[in-house]
Structure 1
Amino acid sequence: MSKPVQKPPFWYQILLALVLPLYRLRVWQRSRLQPDYQDEIIERFAVKPVAKNQQRKNQLSKPQQVIWIHAVSVGETNAAQPIIAHFLKRGQPVLVTNTTRTGQARAKALFAQNYPELFEAVFLPVDITALMQQFLQRYQPRLFILIETELWPNALAQTYDAGIPTILLNARLSERSAKGYGRVGRLTRPMLEQLSCIAAQDQATAQRFIALGADAKKVVVTGSIKFDIQPPEFLLEQAQQLKQQWQLAQRPVLVAASTHEPEEAQILAQFPKILDQYPDAVLILVPRHPERFDRVAELIEKQGFQVFRRSQQQNIEADTQVYLADSMGELWLWYALASMAFVGGSLSPTGGHNPLEPVRLGVPVVMGPHTFNFKVIVEQLMQAHALTQVDNAEALAQVWLNWLQQPEQAKQAGLAGLQVMQANQGALERQLALIQQLDTLPER
């Protein structure tokens, strides 16, 4: 017999009402010039209606009994990729919700074209009870899967009340995040109680969830599904074509990916040191957030480089020194072109992004000192000498120079990363088994 639904405390609802106008303003400031701005507003602050014309782009032909997967941004979407692919290949409709535009663009790039009637990606509605009730009525999910960390009190309360099994997959919880959740115990404990299962990446994460109030019987350590990621074949094929078309086979290609302010400026300031010794080197900058694309283009010009932009369909030419990859959904493409890579959000105090994407392609990786988002994975890669951690952009440039001067060392770092990937695979199979158990549970 399940417990009755425990609603979030009243103060949370008041806080949500106060923050809502500010959040809507933020969305307007960030997205108002985007062609799909009106769709975003509807999805975040209302609920997208069923399309009268089922040929309408990016809507499920049968929007009921879907597997609902929430992936906050690009990293979570990439982690969820094999899970999503598993269900779509079985003919199961999948709804993906994202919080960020980059995450949604990534999801659509991976699946929208190949599964137009089974796949839909929308923004997660604001966590208001009435909106969540409408959302559940609209899609009638049979299972709710959250990826990694993000928990929303009203969403969990409503899915629990509707008898929808909910699983937190690939769960990670840093010590800092655990302290934050611990400060709002009246909000956190009901959410953890309403989860049917927590599949933790590691034992430390499992213990943190239990300490916050999760039932130890519901917490399972499965490892990280990120070790099971596979690059999309079509992007690998495209990378090979571009490598020939742009004549990159014999050029050092340095990729700085998922970068945040001020990382681009710092790296651009150091890049001339590499050009002094390797004048045919090319730096590909891949900013994390699309609203910063124009700003990064200005930075490139300010540093004295000519700007070549992916968004303008410009190529890497023989004289191209810096290329701005201002596109969405193509991160694997740039990593596939890389001789070596820097994974951003790590020189800035963001916590770093997923290093396993370049590692999966045999690319040696450098990160800055701020890697708490991927602490365990970074430590594993560093122990295997597959990843080098530096304190600043100057040290980053020196590591790149060392690898260019000693290509065998760079090759060994790439191979060591592939060995770490292989040794840690299997989480996907374990997590799919958990999903299968939950998906066959009777309704409460």
Structure 2
Amino acid sequence: MLLYRLVVGLLACGIVVKLCLRRDWATLSDRLARTGPTDPGARVWMHAASNGELTSVKPVLSALLDRGVRLLITVNTQSARDMAEGWSLPNTDIRLAPLDLSHVTRRMMRQWSVTGYITVESDIWPHRFLNCPGPVLLIGARLTERTARGWARFPRFAKRVLSRVSYLSAQDSRSLARFRDIGLPHTAVGPVFDLKALYTPPTLPVPAELAQHFDRTTTWLAASTHGGEDALLLDAHKRAQADIPDLKLILAPRHPKRADAIIANLQARGLSFARRSRGETPDGVDVYLVDTLGEMPLWYQLAGTTFVAGSLTDRGGHTPYEPAAFDSAIIHGSDTGNFSAAYQRLGDAKAAIEAANAVEIATAVTDLTNPARQKEFAAAARRALHQDTNLDALMRDICSRLGA
């Protein structure tokens, strides 16, 4: 515990100094839990790290609010905060997450009259667990093999932190086994439940002036790419274009700030492109670079095929649930540990294509420009990813632990 306090303390100092130099007093206030409620009352604190986690837990948020629970939601990023605020949820306060310092978390618990703490997926902050005066719940919990090995190096610390967990519903059976191995009490074990299976496509109509430039059958999307993937995907696009001259690629990087590096790759390959952030029209270009955030539903609707990125490097892959919900056929790389159970179901059902290099990706993209094949794979993915997700049963478990 002492080592953790030292490490977190040093990291916190760096964050505070950076915010002071930027004169970002509003963020600093949130990070130090100096921003309290405007009205009194007990609240359940729910933490979702960023947009993906927040989106996956939205059905749970709505169900809790329907039951009269007041919520304090914290997130790690400003974009996630903007998303949550855009939902205009009743009886809900939204803040940037505080630093995991003991005195800061105690202040947070005290100021907001926290009666319970819920964390989503993989954000485990020891001081929040240890200082919470009420039950601690993990839902959609995920623990990678690498992270589990890190916790296992400090078995007493891991057991102490996890001893505060009243309820854990893991995203997959492997994560559950790892949590149990590092000290999760058997009394806290709940059913395996992947929150992302509850994903419902948001209503985000495609503007006619944008839709007219894309034929869905011959448009594919590279969704949430990371450094090291773009060059491979662009090579695949050039290869596929040799067979499908009117093929278009929508390239959506995970981090838009990488746009300049991607443009260098485009120029090196002689590919024409338009840039979303600058309002450029995608008419007649090879690649539409969407270096923006919060618009992914648009691109799923425009692309009949999606390559789910983060799967060609060591990132563990991104969600297949979203493209499947939009009836976009799925291609992915081999690194899919973040959603291992979902990709296992896709593989067993032959409902997605795994491709490891530019040649294999180009072959898959070309195959899926056949309208019948594209429709077949999209429908198979929907069926494979459908599971008996009993939200009512999960909510009964959660509310029982919270006393709500």
TM-score by length of 1: 0.82
Match of 1:414 among 364, 370, 378: 378
Q: Deviations over 1:252-300 (max 9, x none)?
A: 2211111110111221222122222323222111111243234334433
| 2:167 alignment counterpart | 197
Q: Give the counterpart letter for 2:376 in structure 1.
A: Q
Indicate conservation of the 8 Å contact 2:173/2:192, yes or no.
no
Q: How big is the shift at 1:132?
A: 1.0
Q: How big is the shift at 1:118?
A: 3.9
Match of 1:353 among 318, 321, 334: 318
2:161 maps to 1:188: no
| 1:430 alignment counterpart | 393
The equivalences for 1:320-335 within 5 A come to 320-335=285-300
| 2:48 alignment counterpart | 71
Q: Please give the secondary structure, in 2, of the residue aligned with 1:258.
A: strand
| 1:97 alignment counterpart | 74
The separation in 1 between residues aligned to 2:108 and 2:217, in whole angstroms, is: 50
Question: Residues 204, 114 of structure 1: CA spacing in aligned structure 2 closer, same or farther, 3 A cutoff?
Answer: closer
Q: Give the counterpart letter for 2:10 in structure 1.
A: L
The equivalences for 1:44-443 within 5 A come to 44=31, 46-50=32-36, 62=39, 64-88=41-65, 92-99=69-76, 101=77, 104-106=78-80, 108-109=82-83, 111-115=84-88, 118-159=91-132, 162=133, 164-233=134-203, 235=204, 238-239=205-206, 241-242=207-208, 245-249=211-215, 252-317=218-283, 319-404=284-369, 406-422=370-386, 424-440=387-403
Q: Structure 2: give runs of 5+ residues left out of the alignment.
A: none
Q: Give the counterpart letter for 1:74 in structure 2.
A: N
| 1:4 alignment counterpart | none
The separation in 1 between residues aligned to 2:361 and 2:19, in whole angstroms, is: 34
| 2:27 alignment counterpart | 40
Q: How big is the shift at 1:155?
A: 1.2
TM-score by length of 2: 0.90
Q: Please give the secondary structure, in 2, of the residue aligned with 1:196.
A: strand
Indicate conservation of the 8 Å contact 1:228/1:427, yes or no.
no
Q: Please give the secondary structure, in 1, of the residue aligned with 2:59.
A: helix
The separation in 2 between residues aligned to 1:256 and 1:401, in whole angstroms, is: 14
Q: Deviations over 1:190-230 (max 9, x none)?
A: 11111111112333332322221111121012321211111
Q: How big is the shift at 1:120?
A: 4.1
Q: How big is the shift at 1:343?
A: 1.0
Q: Structure 1: give runs of 5+ residues left out of the alignment.
A: 1-8, 51-59
The separation in 2 between residues aligned to 1:311 and 1:120, in whole angstroms, is: 31
Question: Residues 334, 440 of structure 1: CA spacing in aligned structure 2 closer, same or farther, 3 A cutoff?
Answer: same
Question: Residues 20, 244 of structure 1: CA spacing in aligned structure 2 closer, same or farther, 3 A cutoff?
Answer: closer
Q: Please give the secondary structure, in 1, of the residue aligned with 2:10.
A: helix
Indicate conservation of the 8 Å contact 2:29/2:35, yes or no.
no
Question: Residues 68, 299 of structure 1: CA spacing in aligned structure 2 closer, same or farther, 3 A cutoff?
Answer: farther
Q: Deviations over 1:146-173 (max 9, x none)?
A: 11122111111111xx2x2211001122
Fraction of identical pairs, as percent: 27
Larger deviation, residues 340-349 vs 139-148: 139-148
